[in-house]
C-alpha cells in the first residue's frame, strides 16, 4: 500500500497504527473493539439484551436494540474519523492512506468516506510475509 499510512484493525480491540513513508512503525492507539464494547454493555447493564451488530437505519434509535446498534456503530465511525483527523494533524500526514482490516472493516467502511482501502486479510498477509522473511533469512535464500 505504501506509506505514510494509518492502519486500523477492527478486531477484539480496535487498533490504530501509524507508519511513516519508509514503512517505519511510529506508534499506535488501542481502544475497545466493537464486539468487546457490545459485550461490556450487556454484561454491565442488567436490562440490555445481547445483539448482533449491523448498520442502523438512522443515528437516533427508536428502540433499545436500535439505540444500542447506533451507539456502537456510529461511535466507532466517529472515533475512526476523529483519530484519523488528529493523527494526520499531529504527524503532518495529510496524504496518509487509511487502510482498515478486521472482522468489522466492511461494516465500518459502509458508514464513512475516511477509508481508502479495506483489506480484511491484512493481518494474515503480514504474518505470511514475516514467516517467509524468517524462513528465508535462516537459509540465506532470497524471498520468492
Residue 96 belongs to some domain of the structure: yes
- Residues 6-60: pLDDT tens digits? 999 999 999 999 999 998 999 999 999 999 999 999 999 989 999 999 999 999 9
Query: Is 86 among the domain residues?
Result: yes
Query: For residue 32, which phi and psi values (nearest 5 degrees)?
Result: -60, 140
Q: For residue 84, what are the domain limits?
A: 5-139
In a domain, 144, yes or no: no
> Which pairs count as long-range contacts for 62-71, CB under 8 Å and 24+ apart, including other chains?
68/38, 68/41
Residue 54 lies in a domain: yes
Residue 42 lies in a domain: yes
* 97 in any annotated domain: yes
What's the pLDDT tens digit per position in 82-100?
Answer: 999 999 999 999 999 999 9
Q: How many domains does the chain have?
A: 1
Q: Residue 123: which pLDDT band, with cuts at 50, 70 and 90?
A: confident
The pTM assigned to this predicted structure is 0.86
Give the integer Cα–Cα distance in Å for 137 and 86. 38
88 occurs within a structural domain: yes
Q: Can you give the CATH number for the domain in which 53 is found?
A: 3.30.420.40
Amino acid at each position: 500500500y505504501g506509506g505514510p499510512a494509518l492502519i486500523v484493525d477492527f478486531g477484539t480491540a480496535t487498533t490504530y497504527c501509524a507508519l511513516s513513508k519508509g514503512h517505519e512503525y511510529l506508534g499506535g492507539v488501542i481502544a475497545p473493539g466493537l464486539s468487546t464494547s457490545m459485550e461490556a454493555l450487556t454484561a454491565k447493564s442488567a436490562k440490555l439484551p445481547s445483539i448482533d451488530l449491523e448498520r442502523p437505519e438512522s443515528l437516533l434509535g427508536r428502540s433499545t436494540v436500535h439505540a444500542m446498534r447506533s451507539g456502537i456503530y456510529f461511535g466507532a465511525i466517529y472515533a475512526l474519523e476523529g483519530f484519523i483527523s488528529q493523527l494526520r494533524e499531529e504527524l503532518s500526514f495529510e496524504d496518509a492512506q487509511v487502510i482498515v482490516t478486521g472482522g468489522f472493516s466492511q461494516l465500518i467502511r459502509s458508514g464513512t468516506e475516511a477509508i481508502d482501502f479495506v483489506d480484511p486479510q491484512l493481518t494474515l498477509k503480514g504474518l505470511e510475509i514475516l514467516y517467509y522473511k524468517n524462513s528465508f533469512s535462516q537459509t540465506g535464500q532470497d524471498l520468492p
